Amino acid sequence: MALRTLESLGSLSGKRVIVRCDLNVPLSDSKISDDGRIRASLPTLNALLAQGARVVIISHLGRPDGAPEARFSLKPAAERLAELIGKPVAFATDTVGDSAKTAVAALEDGELAVLENLRFNPGETSKDADQRRVFASQLAAFGDAFVSDGFGVVHRKQASVFELAELLPSAAGLLIETELKVLDRLTENPERPYTVVLGGSKVSDKLGVIAHLLPRVDTILVGGGMVFTFLAAAGHKVGASLLEVDQLDTVRGYLTDAAERGVEIVLPTDIVVAAKFGPDADFVVTPIDGIEDTPFAEKGLGLDIGPATAEDFARRIRASKTVFWNGPAGVFEFPAFAQGTRAIAAALTEVDGLSVVGGGDSAAAVRVLGFTDDQFGHISTGGGASLEFLEGKRLPGLEVLGW
């Protein structure tokens, strides 16, 4: 079967269309620090408005525990959406209650409403399929058709992702179409040399994608907190750096497998080691075999790749035709430990081919560090979903759409 797209729904003029967006934006004091996911939803919303649809937008934000929490309200996202789309956006203060019913009933052709955070209702994320279906049925009453466009949640079997798509005529939105086209290019006959850059805190989060990509890539560059498990597996002492001892044997197996396949796993040659975890921490740059020979001895912890490594990684990235990057190289939120991540991002902007930033913290990092979306081939809106796709897993939110 093929993924059902917007065209499969026919004319949507005058119809109520529920759109599952991903408006899960980072908030600080109710202010949005990165509106990338909202902007990514605009092509689908504008396409529906151009048809004269009555658009009901649903989304989650954060991880409330099945009950309303003011700090997780979608109201700031609805207000930002109104600014970006250039027209009023009604906001319902509940998910399927009186406010939602009133907001949906008031919609005219070409108008939009946003319902409150789906996760304020325990049915959204319930492990009980019957509970999810009850909530999905309440949502389905608001629409004539359903468009799934929240790529960041398609790996979750949740009411608004899975059951709702079963209850209404459903299709994927333009964002999901775009994400899948890019991910297909990363897995089916990618242009070579093909380099994957992996960072972030835990190697356990990346084991599946490493295993699935080893037969498909030429080079894997490893940074971030996860690198210390690789370094320890290779025989280096890592001080107080993040270390997953239970993954050492698995990582050794990957290093052996990569060598047998002719895939180069590149580890740092130098590390920025700090006295503590904090933006004002004293730090030194040291070769990887000297992490415990710093002034901080066994208490020192690595918070970034070193400058020589950053230069080497950047050179390898620029020489590639296909690059996928997931996970920062260091604690980019602290300027002193952001240089490795900055070097990787800058190199991706110079790739003569396809450069993909794999969502999550990587997407946040490029924007925090001053890069713009159009400098990259693609910035994914779904870190976890992207990784599970690249692991070869079937994603329930896509399967229910015919994929």
Torsions phi, psi for 359 (to 5 deg): 70, -170
Q: Considering 16, 20, 37, 54, which one is annotated as catalytic?
A: 37
Q: Considering 39, 75, 101, 202, which one is annotated as catalytic?
A: 202
Residues annotated within the binding site for ATP are 206, 302, 333, 359-362
HEC-encoded secondary structure of the chain = CCCCEHHHHCCCCCCEEEEECCCCCCEECCEECCCHHHHHCHHHHHHHHHCCCEEEEECCCCCCCCCCCHHHCCHHHHHHHHHHHCCCEEECCCCCCHHHHHHHHCCCCCCEEECCCHHHCCCCCCCCHHHHHHHHHHHHCCCCEEEECCHHHCCCCCHHHHHHHHHCCEEECHHHHHHHHHHHHHHCCCCCCEEEEECCCCHHHCHHHHHHHCCCCCEEEECCCCHHHHHHHCCCCCCCCCCCHHHHHHHHHHHHHHHHHCCEEECCCEEEEECCCCCCCCEEEEEHHHHHHCCCHHHCEEEEECHHHHHHHHHHHHCCCEEEEECCCCCCCCHHHCHHHHHHHHHHCCCCCEEEECCHHHHHHHHHCCCCHHHCCEECCCHHHHHHHHCCCCCHHHHCCCC
150 is catalytic: no
Contact 92, 113 (CB under 8 A): yes
384 is catalytic: yes
- Name residues whose C-beta falls within 8 Å of residue 216's C-beta, 6 or more positions apart in sequence: 187, 190, 194
Helix axes 360-368, 339-348, angle to 10 degrees: 90
Residues annotated within the binding site for substrate are 22-24, 37, 60-63, 119, 156
Q: Considering 123, 360, 377, 383, which one is annotated as catalytic?
A: 360
Residues annotated within the binding site for (2R)-3-phosphoglycerate are 37, 119, 156
Q: Considering 36, 52, 97, 384, which one is annotated as catalytic?
A: 384
Residues annotated within the binding site are 22-24, 37, 60-63, 119, 156, 206, 302, 333, 359-362
Measured CA to CA, the distance from residue 91 to residue 315 in angstroms comes to 48
Which residue numbers are catalytic?
37, 202, 360, 384
